[in-house]
Amino acid sequence: KKIPAYLCPMLKSTLLKATQAGGKVLQQYFNGSFQISSKSSVNDLVTEADKNAETAIFSAIRENFPQHFILSEESGELSTDSNVKWIIDPLDGTVNFAHGIPICCTSIGVEQDGEMVMGAVYNPFMNEFFFAEKGKGATLNDKPIRISAKEDLNKACLVTGFPYTWEDSENNPITIFEHFVKKGQPVRRLGSAAIDLCWVACGRFDGFYEHSLNAWDAAAGFLIVEEAGGKVTDFSGKRYSPYQRTLIATNGLIHQSLVDVVNGKR
Ligand code: IPD
Ligand code: CA
Ligand code: CA
Ligand code: CA
């Protein structure tokens, strides 16, 4: 009988190596000169660093697992016949990166038989490496992390993100933001969904919400938050899956209150 891949130490070492390789490419390009082009809109950017980080990640994975399925932002689905899928954001926070703002990372999640089993997020500029394995907790630079203990949404420090392009009038991010701004509540906008999630996991933020994410933005961070004791759902309150567009991640204690605000019920 096949050993589950998440029990396979090689899967973990490959994930760590691939994530480090991506982060190293980001460091090499940061603040240097690199090509930048636009994708869906003039400010939806992709740089040479995104593409070369992706190449470095692919080769680290393929060295050990040439048959595995890959879903990656800049290359799409590279599918083969495998029950293991690597969900990759080679550079999360491209706009920050292009402006020399060191809030960006490489994010990689590993899914097995439809379930996230491992995730790693590496911000080389702050020397922060987040990692989680299903059932084994979450760590920052090898030390265990926990979500915050804040019970009152009114006293919470939140983070959000805004999409590059507007898809629907539902879940209008301006209306939700306005609600908090009018109350004088701190809502940050870091510009990297993967880092937003990790900062919920380690208790810096009490909650994060965003309404137009892709699988690669949140696959790793989702597991990291859950393994740090937090809760991750879509805007309706159902357990999140990386194939959902909307996401709310919290310490669990303020979750329902945040779901209510996002749905205009508070
Ligand atoms: C983006 C970032 C940003 C979020 C966007 C994402 P990218 O990813 O995570 O914080 O608001 O929705 O697309 O393009 O920098 O990899
Ligand atoms: Ca991203
Ligand atoms: Ca990206
Ligand atoms: Ca992008």
Distance 242 CA to ligand 3 centre (A): 15
- Angle among Cα 96, 146, 183 to the nearest 5 degrees reads 60
User: What range does the domain containing 62 cover?
Assistant: 5-144
Atom of ligand 1 nearest to the CA of 216: 16
Nearest 5°: the CA angle 188, 178, 249 is: 45
Question: Average pLDDT in the 154-169 region?
Answer: 87
Handedness of CA 230, 235, 240, 245 (dihedral sign): negative
- Nearest-angstrom CA–CA distance, 14 and 238: 31
CATH of the domain at 99: 3.30.540.10
**Count of C-beta atoms within a 10 Å radius of residue 131:** 26
Q: Is the CB of 221 under 6 A from ligand 1?
A: no
Distances (CA, A) of 230 to 58, 143, 239: 30, 17, 12
Atom of ligand 1 nearest to the CA of 45: 14
pLDDT mean across residues, the chain: 95
Ligand 2 centroid to residue 217 C-alpha, Å: 4
Render pLDDT for 44-58 as a digit per residue (tens, 0 to 9).
999 999 999 999 999
Q: Is the CB of 90 under 6 A from ligand 1?
A: no
Residue 231 near residue 182, CB atoms below 8 Å: no
Q: What is the pLDDT of residue 165?
A: 78
* 87 CA distance to ligand 4 middle (Å): 14
Whether residue 135 is found in the same domain as residue 170: no
Q: Within this chain, do residues 75 and 191 fall inside the same structural domain, yes or no?
A: no
In the chain, the percentage of residues whose pLDDT exceeds 70 is: 96
Q: Let me know whether 193 and 108 are in one domain.
A: no
Ligand 1 centroid, distance to 222 Cα (angstroms): 15
* pLDDT at position 104: 98
> Does one domain contain both 66 and 192?
no
**How far is 70 from 85, CA to CA, in rounded Å?**
6
Atom of ligand 1 nearest to the CA of 104: 15
pLDDT band of 194, cuts 50, 70, 90: very high
Whether residue 86 is found in the same domain as residue 168: no
Q: Which of 89, 92, 122 most suits a substitution to test ligand 1, by most atoms within 8 Å of the C-beta?
A: 92
Same domain, 234 and 116: no
Are residues 57 and 188 part of one domain? no
Q: Which of 78-87, 159-168, 183-192 has the lowest mean pLDDT?
A: 159-168
Q: Report how far residue 7's alpha carbon sits from residue 223's, in angstroms, rounded to the nearest whole number.
A: 16
Tell whether 9 and 127 lie within a shared domain: yes
- The total number of structural domains that make up the chain: 2
Is residue 146 within 8 Å of residue 247, measured between CB atoms? no
Q: How confident is the model at residue 1 (pLDDT cuts 50, 70, 90)?
A: very low
Give yes or no for residue 80 having a pLDDT over 70: yes
DSSP H helix total and E strand total for the chain: 7, 15
Q: Whose CA is nearest to atom 12 of ligand 1?
A: 163
Spacing, Cα 96 to ligand 4 middle (Å): 11
CATH number at residue 217: 3.40.190.80
**What value of ipTM does the predicted structure carry?**
0.98
| Domain match, 130 and 256 both | no
In a shared domain, residues 139 and 160? no
Task: Count the alpha carbons within 13 Å of 191 in the hemisphere toward its beta carbon.
Answer: 17
